[in-house]
Structure 1
């Protein structure tokens, strides 16, 4: 019997390698690891989202890049990886949030929306003739409390106090694991996020290459942070 080359297991998403690996799912995770760094953090006043917008050309208009996506008044998403893949999942999340609100006349829980999207991501890990979504998402919002969930291309999702995805994940997480506290006020939480981003080599903290948003516990409404406010925070770092 001839030995089977590891590359043979690359050809079908539904075939496990002898050591229990799905290579296409692992490759999808690599697409996430090459993406721009994004994060969400829970504080005493609500949830903060920070997303880095990579500017690939000096001809690019930074304002045209959107990295935080509003799902409902109380829920938003940041994504890293193949943003075209993310758009489909974001549309799905929006439709599910609207359907729930229409049916029950109240907003959907953040985990309910996350689970529905994660279930779809998981299905694409064992469909023949398809590939996994090459993206990770962070769902952040406020229902009965502040919530953050991180999804992976495998379809798994995890509740977090602070979640990070993208190329700078290791550096940012290492900093947050030492410095994060869940009782920080909104401004302090945003400042902590930028301090963590500063740990990424060659990272420049300029307002035009970041989207920052927050959802207050009190209003349960998403708001973008104005560029001048971002500047006032990053200029101190």
Structure 2
């Protein structure tokens, strides 16, 4: 990179003459070296999944979680530097608890994304710190119901919470991706990490912005996409970690929970079968071309 030796890449608080912050760009490179993470927003919830590359046979299966619960209805998955991700989760939990203390209700997904985007952006401003080496995907299901206020005594106004129109739908599933620069966007499907390009290509094939897919379908698609994105690391084994969030009437009753092990194993089995079928078809095509 042309910046090396110029000094513009040595400090976090200095822009280069062409308006770039090289420390943020280096943080993005750290993210691209991490395992693939994806989030899928369905019509009835959100699915989060991550590829955990097994770097040692001594690692305990199921430990070293990369998906975390922030509040009952909120989950986070991240790619990049794991210690940075754990600090991100701790701060997100502080923000969720602070919101409950102040407003006596669960924090909306959009407000958590906004607060954490601001927090990551603050780490791009000062020479004494460095940017976070992660990209985080935040998924949540904001309750569409009138929830009681924490610690409420007596009854509230009969019209319900202020600002809610009776003829409009409120709440629902939300998905945000927050980058090291602090920039965040709302997504139907998001991917980050080493296999992000392959994962994005597969996510774009799904009907997420139209009719949408169900949580159960999203679990199978997430396993398939992670398995395909793992192609670049085929010489290494990986572990699939997955969680989901539904509404009050759904399978998780509005809570962020791990997807049951049996469902994950079945989804992985289907993904591997599909991969084997594709490999066989490619082999047949190659044989046919050789014969011709």
Identify if the C-alpha distance between structure 1 residues 203 and 185 changes in structure 2 by more than 3 Å, giving closer, same or farther. farther
Point out where structure 2 has 5 or more consecutive residues left out of the alignment: 143-170, 272-292
Between the aligned partners of 1:63 and 1:192, the Cα distance in structure 2 is: 21
Q: 1: distance between equivalents of 2:91 and 2:49?
A: 22
* RMSD of aligned alpha carbons: 1.8
Does the aligned pair in 1 maintain the 2:177–2:190 contact within 8 Å?
yes
Deviates more, 1:189-198 or 1:85-94: 189-198
> Which of these two proteins has the greater Rg computed from alpha carbons?
2
Distance 2:238 2:192 in 1: 20
**2:244 matched to 1:214?**
yes
Q: Deviations over 1:71-116 (max 9, x none)?
A: 0000000011111111112111101111211222210101111111
2:16 aligned partner: 17
Give the conservation status (yes or no) of the 8 Å contact 1:62–1:208: no
> Please, which of 190, 195, 204 is the counterpart of residue 168 of structure 1?
195
What is the TM-score normalised by the length of structure 2?
Answer: 0.75
Q: Which residue of 2 aligns with 1:232?
A: 266
1:192 maps to 2:191: no
- Worse-superposed segment, 191-200 or 155-164: 191-200
Give the 5 Å matches for 1:127-146. 127-143=126-142, 144-146=171-173
Which string of whole-angstrom CA distances, capped at 9 and with x for unpartnered residues, describes residues 22-59 of structure 1?
Answer: 11100000001111111111111111111111211111
The equivalent of 1:111 in structure 2 is 110
CA shift digits 1:139-162 (9 cap, x unpaired): 100111110000010011110011
Cross-structure match for 1:151: 178
Q: Aligned residues, how many?
A: 232
Question: What TM-score, normalized by structure 1, do the two folds share?
Answer: 0.92
Unaligned runs of 5+ in 1: none
Q: Is the 8 A contact 2:50 2:226 kept in 1?
A: no
